[in-house]
């Protein structure tokens, strides 16, 4: 078991209560913590990826190089004339494309629209795994999966809230005081009268109760995910859309990435979006982009792409080829070159 302090260093959100205390089983969250998934799968995947962003967020990207902060990236563009190739972005207006090297936390065959918490960790809701809109496959045993999460939450409620009933020592441990109630007797007080279920810890719990619940959930979900039957189903649903001929697909895949290094920045000359533009839809100044990147400490190449997206397709092909060689090199007899050519 990890301590709560260890868990915090892996990237807890300050507003994590909006995730782990959800009422609906479809909203039960699955965290993409890099250390956790490495423990679950005994695997670490390093390689090359593409990320699309805008004038402001590319500077933030430069500042998180080498850190555990997570971002969504891609390696596969289904349609060469897609909005991505023309400058559209994921969660941004786009226009700026970054070639990255880093560690993949999770590889998904299509865009799952993972949620990002305030510390940079990505989360996926359980309902997104039940059945993908684009495919006929379903998560076999999904009800059992969310049932175990629900039971884990109930057990956590008992271990954190019900354990305090008639128990002054446990009330003190979880930071519960009755100073405002002159008639309250800790030996007669039932904490479960004030917090009636797991979700109410979010609203009425003390800081120590919430911290205990966060740690309980993260330890509990890791144990559930280690169950081979669930892990195999999750990985199956994640791979939907990747390399499936004849299947309806989204325009790109999604990979959750951390410990990044920017190898190249590519921008579309007429579609560099800036959130601070004076008018809606106004593009940013590429000269400002280059100057701001230099101020952020980025010293790599900054390249202008053409209007057709061919340059971007070539970059994507190089990324796919290099990642393929990295896979082949897992066989110790192979030694294919895997250096990115700037």
CB 274 within 8 A of CB 283: yes
Say whether both 243 and 316 belong to one domain. Answer: yes
Q: Is the pLDDT of residue 13 over 60?
A: no
Report the alpha-carbon distance of residue 52 to residue 71 in Å, rounded: 10
Structure-token match 């519960």, residue found: 176
Mean pLDDT of the chain: 78
Number of structural domains in the chain: 2
Say whether both 92 and 38 belong to one domain. Answer: yes
Say whether both 270 and 226 belong to one domain. Answer: no
Say whether both 108 and 252 belong to one domain. Answer: yes
pLDDT grade for 268, boundaries at 50, 70 and 90: confident
Q: At what angle do helices 207-225 and 228-239 cross, to 10 degrees?
A: 80
Report the alpha-carbon distance of residue 286 to residue 270 in Å, rounded: 9
| Range with the largest mean pLDDT of 83-97, 120-134, 251-265 | 251-265
pLDDT grade for 107, boundaries at 50, 70 and 90: low
pLDDT grade for 4, boundaries at 50, 70 and 90: very low
| Range with the largest mean pLDDT of 37-41, 150-154, 280-284, 310-314 | 150-154
Say whether both 64 and 107 belong to one domain. Answer: yes
**Please, which residues bridge with residue 138 across strands?**
131
Q: What is the pLDDT of residue 309?
A: 57
Residue 341 resides in a domain: no
Point out the domain boundary residue: 235, 251, 284. Answer: 235
Select from 304, 257, 241 the least CA-distant residue to 87.
Answer: 304
Residue 290 resides in a domain: yes
Q: What is the pLDDT of residue 113?
A: 65
Point out the domain boundary residue: 202, 217, 235. Answer: 235
| Range with the largest mean pLDDT of 85-99, 243-257, 295-309, 324-338 | 324-338
Q: Is the pLDDT of residue 221 over 90?
A: yes
Which one is predicted more confidently, 295 or 206?
A: 206
Say whether both 138 and 101 belong to one domain. Answer: yes
Residue 340 resides in a domain: no
Residue 21 resides in a domain: yes
Residue 152 resides in a domain: no
Write out the residue range of the structural domain in which residue 269 sits.
4-142+237-328
Question: In which element (H, E) is residue 62 found?
Answer: helix 55-63
Q: What is the mean pLDDT of residues 77-94?
A: 47
Which one is predicted more confidently, 82 or 296?
A: 296
| Range with the largest mean pLDDT of 64-68, 160-164, 255-259 | 160-164
Q: Is the pLDDT of residue 169 over 60?
A: yes
Report the alpha-carbon distance of residue 309 to residue 268 in Å, rounded: 9
Say whether both 309 and 197 belong to one domain. Answer: no
CB 231 within 8 A of CB 139: no
Q: Compute the half-sphere exposure of residue 289: CA atoms within 13 Å on the CB side of its CA.
A: 31
pLDDT grade for 129, boundaries at 50, 70 and 90: confident
Dihedral angle over CA of 23, 26, 27, 32, nearest 10: 140
The set of long-range contacts for 129-137, using a CB threshold of 8 Å and a minimum separation of 24, is 129/30, 129/233, 129/234, 129/237, 130/26, 132/237, 132/240, 132/241, 134/110, 134/240, 134/241, 134/247, 134/248, 134/249, 134/250, 135/240, 135/241, 135/244, 135/247, 135/248, 137/236, 137/237, 137/240
Q: What is the pLDDT of residue 223?
A: 94
Residue 336 resides in a domain: no
- Burial level of 200, CB count in 10 A (0-12/13-18/19+)? middle
The model's pTM: 0.66
Point out the domain boundary residue: 199, 219, 235. Answer: 235
pLDDT grade for 147, boundaries at 50, 70 and 90: very high
Contacts of 327 (CB under 8 A, 6+ apart): none
């Amino acid at each position: 078991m990890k301590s709560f302090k260890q868990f915090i260093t892996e990237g807890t959100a300050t507003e994590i209560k909006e995730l782990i205390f959800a009422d609906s089983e479809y909203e039960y969250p699955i965290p993409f913590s890099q250390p956790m998934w490495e423990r679950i799968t005994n695997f670490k995947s390093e390689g090359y990826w593409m990320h699309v962003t805008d004038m402001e967020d590319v500077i933030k990207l430069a500042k998180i190089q080498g850190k555990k902060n997570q971002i969504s990236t891609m390696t596969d563009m289904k349609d060469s004339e897609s909005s991505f190739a023309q400058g559209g972005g994921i969660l941004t207006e786009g226009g700026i494309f970054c070639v990255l090297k880093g560690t993949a936390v999770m590889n998904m065959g299509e865009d799952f629209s993972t949620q990002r918490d305030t510390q940079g960790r990505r989360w996926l809701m359980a309902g997104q795994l039940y059945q993908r809109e684009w495919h006929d496959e379903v998560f076999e045993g999904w009800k059992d999966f969310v049932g175990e999460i629900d039971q884990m939450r109930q057990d956590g409620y008992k271990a954190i809230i019900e354990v305090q009933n008639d128990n002054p020592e446990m009330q003190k441990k979880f930071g519960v005081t009755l100073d405002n109630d002159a008639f309250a007797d800790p030996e007669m007080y039932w904490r479960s009268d004030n917090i009636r279920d797991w979700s109410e810890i979010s609203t009425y719990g003390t800081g120590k109760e919430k911290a205990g619940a966060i740690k309980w959930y993260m330890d509990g979900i890791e144990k559930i995910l280690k169950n081979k039957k669930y892990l195999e189903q999750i990985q199956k649903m994640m791979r939907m859309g990747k390399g499936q001929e004849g299947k309806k697909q989204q325009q790109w895949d999604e990979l959750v990435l951390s410990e990044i290094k920017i190898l190249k920045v590519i921008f579309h000359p007429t579609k560099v979006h800036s959130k601070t533009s004076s008018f809606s839809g106004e593009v940013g100044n590429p000269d400002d982009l280059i100057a701001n990147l230099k101020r952020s400490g980025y010293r790599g190449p900054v390249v202008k792409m053409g209007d057709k997206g061919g340059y971007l397709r070539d970059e994507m092909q190089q990324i796919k080829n290099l990642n393929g060689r990295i896979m082949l090199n897992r066989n110790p007899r192979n030694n294919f070159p895997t250096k990115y050519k700037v």
